[in-house]
Chains A and B, each alone.
Chain A
Amino acid sequence: MSEPEALLVCQRLTRHFGGLVALAGLDLQVRRGELLGLIGPNGSGKTTFFNVLTGLFPPTQGEILFAGTSLARATPQATYRAGITRTFQRSRLCLELSIFDNLAIGAHQRLDHGLAFNLLRRRALREQADATATAARDLLEIFDPPLARRLFEPMLGVAMIDRRRVEICRALMSHPRLLLLDEPSAGMTTEETTRLMDDILEVRRRFGDLTIVLIEHEMSVIERVTDRCVVLNYGKKLCEGTFAEVSADAEVRRAYLGLT
């Protein structure tokens, strides 16, 4: 059997914030096409890992290889162009704008931003807008069908849970190769969480070449949807493997005192 292809390779990834060590030499690999769960106690560096990966903070040390290209010094814009998108732990949507606008932001790289195009070729612009709206509706039909009919309404009037779904759709608009989800089910009921995970799996089926890293606190979710897990503690990898393997690990149980 051939070696599963590594899409993302992080070596000795370190990030200091003044005196605080958020990532302490993290070695992590994400295989192409897998759904990797990223778990760990609060403050173990999961969100920091996403932030460093997407270029919001440069790593103090270490290397990030994405499909062979180094992204350690990349700007957030460059990581987006490379095909990595994300959602945020605290929802970051432009509430003043419409649902469509927010999704269009996600599709940024597929849209023409030239002055001549936008000012003078209005028919072509409208066609591109229509195509974007169609793509937006297709995604919303998966995650939140009622919203698909409210595409041009302001984001302000959308409920919290729906906003999280929109944020996921925004991250999918550019057909990314790697999708980073930061606690997408926060604030959702069990039922809503199940539905969300079903939708994520559905999208994964449809897109074919989509790799996902999922930060979650709900262990049942991790158990159900992930192919593999990585457990972080104090900015380092504690353990990796399937959920069954990881949850049986003594170190992990110790780190998660009280959780299992």
Chain B
Amino acid sequence: MNGVMLGLMYALVALGFTLFFGVLDVVQFAHGDVLTAGAFVGLAAYAALLHAGVQAAVPQLIVVVLAATFSMAILGAVLGRVLVLPLKGAPALNTLLATLMGGTALRECIRLFYPGGSQPQRFPALLPTASWSMGRFNLRVDNLLMLLAGVVLVLGLSLLLRRTRLGLAIRAVAQDEETARTMGIDFRRVVLLTFAIGSALAAFAGVMNGLYYNEINFGSGLLLGVIGFSAAVLGGLGSFTGAVLGGFLFAGLQTLGAVVMPFASAYKDVFAFAVVILLMTWKPTGLIGEELGERV
């Protein structure tokens, strides 16, 4: 259950990376920090609700999720507009650096300006805490609900991409920007919407993260971002299925690492990253990656 939850979370983050890469050929390194920011916005919304006297868990949950996803959708679009689009023509390294630094700025803002931001913050348990016992397995309702929600999101995104006009536009831009433009697709609008969608997904993952661990930390976005990126790369940047698979693959590696080295479960990250590096050596553009060609 643990691994599946993590895999889903990573997959949600990886989907963001793969969407941004598909649409604009960029890696948005601030994505992990957007996830954290989303969680903190959710937390702030919760605090505001408490203050306003709202005690019931269901409206709390709804408001928290909505606040997180909407605010991050906007932030994502802003980042795309301000940071990524202006650097479109520049060498890829510039965008990488700009988004890395942007993420740092975001992270620092949380640490400095959120009350008590430098300390881990308790995240409320907004989901029912009941659990079913089935022999040796203990199924927690809240985890199940989150799992379901996550799966619905992933399926929803897939449907969006395959069945809606927006999805078609996104895929067209991902395939060939020039042609998409000449077909009348508003390139910038599509890009900004993609950023909004991806960031909203990350915000949801952030809330999930908070609900699951009952705490959030300003710095966790960095690791999650790198993991999400690794997952997306493993599956092949730009591939939807690849991102999902990559997310679960990374979670699997972590679980494997913890099992293989029970004496120090902290080594699981070392193990997972080491395997990622090895896999990338073997398959430089991901396991389901594209051929990197260059016109000579």
Contact = CB atoms under 8 A, between A and B. Distances in A.
Interface in A21-38: none
Interface string A31-59: 00000000000000001000100001000
Contacts of B183: none
Tell me the interface secondary structure of chain B in the complex: loop
B296 interface: yes
A180 to B, nearest CB: 12
Contacts of B296: 47, 51, 56, 88
4 contacts: A47-B296, A51-B296, A56-B296, A88-B296
Contacts of A47: 296
Interface in A148-185: none
A144 B296 CA distance: 26
Nearest to B295: A90
Contacts of A56: 296
Contacts, number: 4
Nearest to A51: B296
Interface residues of B, number: 1
Interface in B266-296: 296
Query: 3 tightest CB-CB pairs across the interface, nearest first?
Result: A51-B296, A56-B296, A88-B296
A33 B296 CA distance: 27
A36 to B, nearest CB: 21
B100 to A, nearest CB: 24
A88 B296 CA distance: 8
Nearest to A17: B293
A88 B217 CA distance: 53
Contacts of A88: 296
A18 B296 CA distance: 16
A56 B296 CA distance: 9
Nearest to A54: B296
Nearest to A18: B291
B234 to A, nearest CB: 24
Nearest to B294: A56
A231 B296 CA distance: 21
A51 B296 CA distance: 8
A22 to B, nearest CB: 12
Nearest to A47: B296
B296 to A, nearest CB: 5
Interface in B173-212: none
Nearest to B293: A17
A138 to B, nearest CB: 29
A47 B295 CA distance: 11
Interface in A73-130: 88
B69 to A, nearest CB: 40
Contacts of A51: 296
B89 to A, nearest CB: 15
A47 B296 CA distance: 9
A56 B294 CA distance: 10
Interface string B29-50: 0000000000000000000000
A19 B296 CA distance: 18
B94 to A, nearest CB: 15
Nearest to A89: B296
B174 to A, nearest CB: 19
A220 B296 CA distance: 27
Nearest to B291: A18
A221 to B, nearest CB: 23
A51 B294 CA distance: 12
Nearest to A88: B296
A127 B296 CA distance: 35
B290 to A, nearest CB: 12
B285 to A, nearest CB: 15
A51 B293 CA distance: 13
A5 B296 CA distance: 31
B168 to A, nearest CB: 25
A77 B296 CA distance: 16
B23 to A, nearest CB: 24
A129 B296 CA distance: 30
A123 to B, nearest CB: 38
B65 to A, nearest CB: 44
A61 B66 CA distance: 59
A51 B295 CA distance: 10
A88 B294 CA distance: 14
